[in-house]
Amino acid sequence: MGYAVEVRNLWFRYMLSEEWVLRDLSLAVEEGEFIVIMGPSGCGKSTLLYILSGIIPNMIRGEVKGEIKILGRDIRGLKPEEITRSVGFVFQNPDSQLIMPTVLEEVVMGLENLGLDRGEILGRAREILSYVGLDKKSNMPPRSLSAGEKQLLAIASVLAMRPRILILDEPTSMLDHVGTMKVLSLIESLKKNLGITVIVVEHRIEWAVEIADKIAIMDRGTVVAYGEPSKIFSNPELIKKTGVRPPMISEVFYELIDRGVKVNRIPITTKEGIEELRRLLGRSAKPGTLT
């Protein structure tokens, strides 16, 4: 498989601004990978997603420098409709994305823009609503749904168009616990069952390290760390420097290391943490180990 996304030496600043929001940023995402992007507020995460989805510069203007390829093609040479056929985008606030009178019509709208025949449109719409668990609410107005259900509908309306890349910008930031669990469960099922490329900005770190193939950490407009979760969080100094919260179990082991305890590895999941603690406790009678 090739790359779904290739970004090299990307710089961006908004119109009428002298400050560069993105600075010499590079990122490569293989097709089918699940990538979680993290970083402090204002580091440029959403701006990067807007560029990858074509929102910048087609809807939001600014100066772009560098190379941006989607599925091997320069995104700046593509028409907006060509981008939306390959890239689906889900905003933080589902209310900004839902405009139709009923749940079914919300999904149908995007499919009509693809020029499909009526039978295929309805078939796809009902299939995806069943997949996200909203089939029994297809005739209800979106405003009657819970916040979590609205976000599921926003994701469904994008998935119905069968994009090869799905981009989600903090999809759980406005949801309660129940809504968050529903949305995160759906995103997990996309990874397991559909095999599409997923790029998501999400701060729920314990969830991210369990599901992500790779994590990208951004700071001050660029990617400062990129790799498998176990590799990223094995570097306490980098994590502390960027201000990203590590998994709680990793924090425990950062503290143990600071106290002079020698560990084989820094765990990122509870299961790994229990295994490493058992190993340490098994040798705790020896001088200079676990105290």
CA angle 168, 198, 169 (to 5 degrees): 15
Tens of each residue's pLDDT in the chain, 291 residues: 699 999 999 999 999 899 999 999 999 999 999 999 999 989 999 999 999 999 999 999 999 999 999 999 999 889 988 998 899 999 999 998 899 999 999 999 989 988 889 999 999 999 999 999 999 999 999 999 999 999 999 999 999 999 999 999 999 988 999 999 999 999 988 888 888 999 999 999 999 999 999 999 999 999 999 999 999 999 998 888 888 999 999 999 999 999 999 888 899 999 999 998 888 888 654 544 444
Q: What does the alpha-carbon distance between residue 106 and residue 158 come to, in Å, rounded to a whole number?
A: 10
Give the model's pLDDT for residue 114: 83
Give the model's pLDDT for residue 110: 87
Give the model's pLDDT for residue 190: 87
* Partner residues linked to 166 by β-bridges: 88, 198
Domains of the chain: 3-242 (3.40.50.300), 248-282 (no CATH)
Give the model's pLDDT for residue 157: 95
Nearest by Cα to 179 from 270, 92, 99: 92
H helices present in 94-176, as ranges: 103-112, 118-132, 147-159
Q: What does the alpha-carbon distance between residue 120 and residue 122 come to, in Å, rounded to a whole number?
A: 6
Give the model's pLDDT for residue 291: 44
